[in-house]
Structure 1
Amino acid sequence: MSQRDRDRERLELALDAAGLDLWENNLVTGEVIQHAARTFRELGYPDEEVPQLVANSLDLVHEDDRDRLGTALGELLAGSTADYRCEFRLRARTGDWVWYANHGRVMEGEGGRPGERFVGVTFNIDERKRRETELADIYRQLEEQNQQLHRLIASLELLAATDALTGLANRRTLMESSARECKRAERYGHALAMLLVDIDRFKDINDRWGHLVGDHVICAAAELCRQGIRQGVDIAARLGGEEFVLLLPETDGRGAMALADKLRLAMAGHCVADGDGQPVPFTVSIGVASFEPGLSHMQLLHHADKALYRAKHQGRNRVHRFEDVAAG
């Protein structure tokens, strides 16, 4: 045995111990100098079938991996890359698909002839790929659960911030928002107004038509409040019972009065249906207050409440502003 044969034998032993399957092709003649015998044995093919399989080796490659394999070989032979590396699936004799990887390089042939030998190794990466797939599934499930958690948190935050019956902001959200807007108006000298809206004779509605119709009236009034504000700027909230508050940043007293009267007319022109489909009309009274330097959000609400009381006292279905109440 020559030294070269002994070196090759040692190399093959080391490769076999490492799970690497040596192969070699002659790029000039197309001859398969050494095929990946270990790989074919792992796939369950008997020795007598191997020559035919080597001649048609691409048929063993999963169709989804063939383009990737061809691209990697093409880049190597075109000189775009010095190394050939590719991962792909091979069909076992049982029909199962098993993941393998190839690493190879073009080397000199006998006498130093360049570009003659294509030498590389094939090795089984199926377990690693399966772990990667399992991890990918775990990450996907975690991401789905994370998204569900975010949706749940968003739903909980929405529930905590909105009134269950009307969907408007609730009292807590109103207090937080009005405190923030009052500080902002104080700091920058911007206009800020508040409307306190109360459904007239709401107890009579409940007594005559029942609480279900009363809830319909509350929801109808809430929807008209929502439609009357600037989305993303103003805030419509249910203060409690049949009372609503509209918080209007960047709105002066004149603009607030105009909106209040428009809203009053919309309420007066709206009806809900009772259980027999008969119309149930309702009206509202509205108190208007404008922010002044030094006012807290609770004081602003108190001013709007005083204006509302005057509107109620003077016959309901009216709009009054605090400045007129304070002056007279």
Structure 2
Amino acid sequence: MGDDADLNKERLELVLEAAGLDLWENDLVSGQVTHKATKTFLELGFTEDEIVSGVQDIFGLFHPGDLDMVRQAVADHVAGVTAQYRAEFRLRSKAGEWVWFANYGRIMDRSSDTPGKRLIGVTFNIHDRKQKEDEIAHINRQLTEQNKLLQELNAALELLAANDSLTGLANRRTLMEMGANECKRTERFDHTLSLMVVDIDLFKAVNDAWGHLAGDRMICAVAQACAARKRSGVDIVARFGGEEFVIVLPETDGVSALRVAEALRQEVAALRVSVNDEGVSVSVTVSIGVATLHKGSGLSFEELVNRADKALYRAKETGRNAVYCADVQHGCVPVVHMLIDPGEGRNGALLT
């Protein structure tokens, strides 16, 4: 019988060794370690004389951040809450390094009548696995941060692609896309849609007299005046090219659009824009062409822009600093008429 027991013990030790497991046993009554996890502590750099024999001393080697979790895992199993005791933790080596291990154990002599007093289990090194998990977690954090940065960069690129770099207004491509959608909405919901083409008068003279930097300042000042008229989330304000701007006014009839255009014309005329660092400022005026689209007209957005552009050139031809409107209601041939008198009307009075 003794030979069989020794043989079984040798077999068990061989299996444990091959699996990298270190057998231990604790007496839950006395608190003593009845079978030391010798291999684990030798792995941590301790000599056999230094290997601890009490449960409390063993707990003294646990990482402070893991100790409560391990105690709770033991308590849960002793109380019958869990079928097995399982825990992962760090132990301090003799050299002071933290090494990851795992414990699996179970009370072997528990019955319905007795709580059991022998907790038997195995300890094994999981340091390499934990390091890989940490590396993966670190990589995942980096990927998350990089993805966030990439999203921010993409959003910035989309904004740059959609907006004019000088003024911050929508650019021509964005205008044409959004304008086409507004035309579809006009047709679908039977709304009117008005559009203004705004052009700075005699802009070349500003560039010639004060340089392109002064011209850029002038463009930005007029752009801000146009943007100030925008209804947030409704209107579209875009730089159409050079010194020309387009303002799209959804759900706005021709009379209302003319009022907006006239107010903008007066506001720009009152501007004084600094053209150099010496404090010299100049003023400019704008000419504005207005067109209105109604349901059933059959006009595309590009055609609507062209009609407003033709009205703009009529304003230019008659002396500038004026607002002209092209009547495009119901697809009729437009009748271009002047709203602002090119002579007396320079003061902004509406003709009646």
| TM-score, with length taken from structure 1 | 0.92
- Deviation, structure 1 residue 6: 4.2
Partner residue in 2 for 1:216? 217
Partner residue in 1 for 2:347? none
Secondary structure in 2 matching 1:79: coil
Identity over aligned pairs, percent: 54
Bigger drift between 238-247 and 30-39 goes to: 30-39
CA contact (8 A) 1:21 1:123 kept: yes
Instruction: Note the alpha carbon deviations across 1:205-226, whole angstroms, 9 max, x for none.
Output: 2222222111100011112222
Partner residue in 2 for 1:279? 281
**Cα distance, 1:304–1:53 mapped onto 2, change above 3 Å:** farther
Partner residue in 1 for 2:320? 316
State how 1:145-160 maps to structure 2 within 5 Å.
145-160=146-161
Q: What is the one-letter code of the residue matched to 1:210?
A: G
CA distance in 2, matches of 1:326, 1:9: 108
Secondary structure in 1 matching 2:166: coil
Secondary structure in 2 matching 1:93: coil
Corresponding residue pairs, total: 328
- Deviation, structure 1 residue 36: 1.0
Partner residue in 2 for 1:326? 335
Higher helix fraction (1 or 2) = 1
Partner residue in 1 for 2:67? 66
**In angstroms, what is the RMSD of aligned CA positions?**
2.3
Partner residue in 2 for 1:104? 105
CA distance in 2, matches of 1:249, 1:11: 84
Instruction: Note the alpha carbon deviations across 1:116-135, whole angstroms, 9 max, x for none.
Output: 21111111000001111111
| TM-score, with length taken from structure 2 | 0.86
Bigger drift between 138-147 and 283-292 goes to: 138-147
Q: What is the one-letter code of the residue matched to 1:284?
A: V
**Cα distance, 1:50–1:184 mapped onto 2, change above 3 Å:** same
CA distance in 2, matches of 1:241, 1:326: 28
Bigger drift between 2-11 and 196-205 goes to: 2-11
CA distance in 2, matches of 1:45, 1:38: 10
Instruction: Note the alpha carbon deviations across 1:39-92, whole angstroms, 9 max, x for none.
Output: 001101001111267541122111121222222223222322112111111111
Structure 1: 5+ residue runs without aligned partners? none
CA distance in 2, matches of 1:233, 1:203: 32
CA distance in 1, matches of 2:166, 2:14: 78
**Cα distance, 1:203–1:87 mapped onto 2, change above 3 Å:** same
Secondary structure in 1 matching 2:259: helix
Equivalent of residue 292 in structure 2, options 290, 303, 306: 290
State how 1:30-41 maps to structure 2 within 5 Å.
30-41=31-42
Partner residue in 2 for 1:10? 11
**Cα distance, 1:207–1:55 mapped onto 2, change above 3 Å:** closer
State how 1:1-328 maps to structure 2 within 5 Å.
1=2, 3-4=4-5, 6-51=7-52, 55-108=56-109, 113-275=114-276, 276-292=278-294, 293=296, 294-323=298-327, 326=335, 328=337
Q: What is the one-letter code of the residue matched to 1:34?
A: H
Secondary structure in 2 matching 1:80: coil
**Cα distance, 1:207–1:51 mapped onto 2, change above 3 Å:** closer
CA contact (8 A) 1:35 1:54 kept: no
- Deviation, structure 1 residue 3: 4.5
Bigger drift between 212-221 and 279-288 goes to: 279-288
Bigger drift between 63-72 and 86-95 goes to: 63-72
CA distance in 1, matches of 2:57, 2:245: 79
Q: What is the one-letter code of the residue matched to 2:321?
A: N
CA distance in 1, matches of 2:42, 2:32: 21
CA contact (8 A) 1:107 1:114 kept: no
CA distance in 2, matches of 1:255, 1:10: 97
CA distance in 2, matches of 1:31, 1:162: 75
Secondary structure in 1 matching 2:327: helix
Instruction: Note the alpha carbon deviations across 1:239-258, whole angstroms, 9 max, x for none.
Output: 11110001122222233223
